[in-house]
Structure 1
């Protein structure tokens, strides 16, 4: 089995690392064969290392600290959670509609009282 490591590090500082059992030499451009003595170290650091390449051969590697893993993406709410949120929103909408209806009815009553008062004033003024 031959392991190979990507010569140029990725943005996160790691190097790609692969192996194939039927290969005897490096098969990808921009990669280099990992000697058997360094294979375990390369796999242990999962490619997060500094490479020591001399005369086109990997002669050493120094493990580096891996960057912290990014926070996982938040999971979307389940169907049950979405249903609960929709039920809550619907209940709030119903409450708002009822409050608006009651407010409208109250305003109509106030308007009627004002109309009656204006008519009384008009009649008092001899109109």
Structure 2
């Protein structure tokens, strides 16, 4: 007999794996909210999963551990995509800023430039 907490954990893990992580900016906020909700649910279940485990629960736990690595890889790839988009956005902002004011990064070392020549 497998404890209900373990079954709920597996269900939450399956939902995390089933989320189709897309790079669509329109759905990104909703996706982050749903990922956080599932992770919070798993965090609440974690304290109730304590030994001793039966042999059946041990085998079930090994399957869960195997799925955890898949979840970690999927979440890490999503985090990498978000970081990439943030750096691209920052690069675009810097490009626009330097186009608007091209002399903003010129070193001002105290020299005088005569503009009346």
Task: Give the TM interval when normalised to the shorter protein.
Answer: 0.3 to 0.5
TM-score norm. by structure 1 comes to 0.36
TM-score norm. by structure 2 comes to 0.39
The structure with the greater share of residues assigned to helix is 2
The structure whose RCO (Cα within 8 Å, separation 6+) is larger is: 2
The structure with the greater share of residues assigned to strand is 1
